[in-house]
Amino acid sequence: MGPWAIAVHGGAGVDPNLPKERQEEAKRLLTRCLDIGIVALRSNVTAIDVVELVVKELETDPLFNSGRGSALTENGTVEMEASIMDGPKRRCGAVSGLTTVKNPVSLARLVMDKSPHSFLAFSGAEEFARKQGVELVDNEYFITEDNVGMLKLAKEANSILFDYRIPTIGTCGAGATMDSPLQMNGLPISVYAPE
Amino acid sequence: TVGCVVVDKEGRCAAATSTGGLMNKMTGRIGDSPLIGAGTYACDLCGVSCTGEGEAIIRSTLARDVAAVMEYNGLNLHEAVDFVIKNRLDEGKAGLIAVSKNGEVACGFNTTGMFRGCATEDGFMEVGIW
């Protein structure tokens, strides 16, 4: 057929002042994940299995906002979500509101392969996870010191935190100038950060 | 948010996205990542994974729109990615990665930066942030 190709991301909305060592750390993780995908593609692993394999790696490393290292809710807990989609027959699976599933993307894959549905959320998704025997961990496993600190900053600023900094209204990009009446969490929608 | 898009040697595309959502978000909030057609989409033409302001991505069904402008307007992958980032996000800030069944790879974002990496079979490999 044709050549293979792969792309990965770790989130948009990067803090322009991100320290150099954090940038290098991110690049090392992205390179490691690309290498995992490339080795799999060279071994003729199918696209759907490769995307699950790579996203599992990204979920397991605490650097980016997913799985371990996820952003925290207003209550200081973690609620995760994921989805997966296979192009040829447009099959898909998605989960939301997960608190104990170690790799959300693998549960989304099981929703696609082992359930009659496309999307399971909260207690139903957790129940399905137990029935499917996927690895479950305490919610604390997903919480990192960094994110506890960032949640504290966000609460002090009564805002929704960018991945790496508290937005002051002037730094919310185009959205900042928008005096949209739309509110979320009691804040102008424009302070919502790219995730 | 993290994501991966792949096209394999058989020309099959796939996409996956996973996230913890927004810091200090309300419990029960659902973002774009689990919504098929918004944060994640794959068909026989392409595979797409998005990240950024979830509410903007949902309103614009960003991932499906890349496939739609390829399907209905005949744009190639790069043109489709540029088009949706420039014309579909209104004031929203977001980024996405995409592959096509022909083995092309593209990314676009209107934020200050996006953690991303891509590689193709002919040996091209790039990892970037800004």
Q: Is A119 on the interface with B (CB under 8 A)?
A: yes
Q: For this structure, is B51 an active site residue? A: no
Instruction: Name the stretches of chain B with pLDDT < 50.
Output: none
Q: What is the pLDDT of residue A177?
A: 37
Contact residues on chain B for A23, CB-CB shorter than 8 A: 129
pLDDT(A161) > 90: no
Q: What is the pLDDT of residue A186?
A: 57
Mean pLDDT (chain A, rounded): 87
Contact B6, A2 (CB under 8 A): no
Q: What is the pLDDT of residue A191?
A: 54
Q: What is the pLDDT of residue A13?
A: 87
Q: What is the pLDDT of residue A1?
A: 73
Q: Is A163 on the interface with B (CB under 8 A)?
A: yes
Closest Cβ opposite residue B16 in set A15, A52, A142: A52
pLDDT(A118) > 50: yes
Rounded to an integer, the average pLDDT of A150-179 is 55
Estimate to the nearest angstrom the gap between the alpha carbon of B21 and the chain centroid.
16
Q: What is the pLDDT of residue A158?
A: 77
Separation between Cα atoms, residue B112 and residue A162, nearest integer Å: 12
Separation between Cα atoms, residue A26 and residue A115, nearest integer Å: 35
Contact A45, B1 (CB under 8 A): no
Q: Tell me if A193 and B11 make a contact (CB, 8 A cut-off).
A: no
Separation between Cα atoms, residue B69 and residue B74, nearest integer Å: 7
Contact A81, A95 (CB under 8 A): yes
pLDDT(A163) > 80: no
Q: What is the pLDDT of residue A176?
A: 37
Give the ipTM. 0.98
Query: Which tens digits make up the pLDDT trace of A27-38?
Result: 999 999 999 999
| DSSP helix/strand/coil, B105 | strand
Separation between Cα atoms, residue A134 and residue A120, nearest integer Å: 15
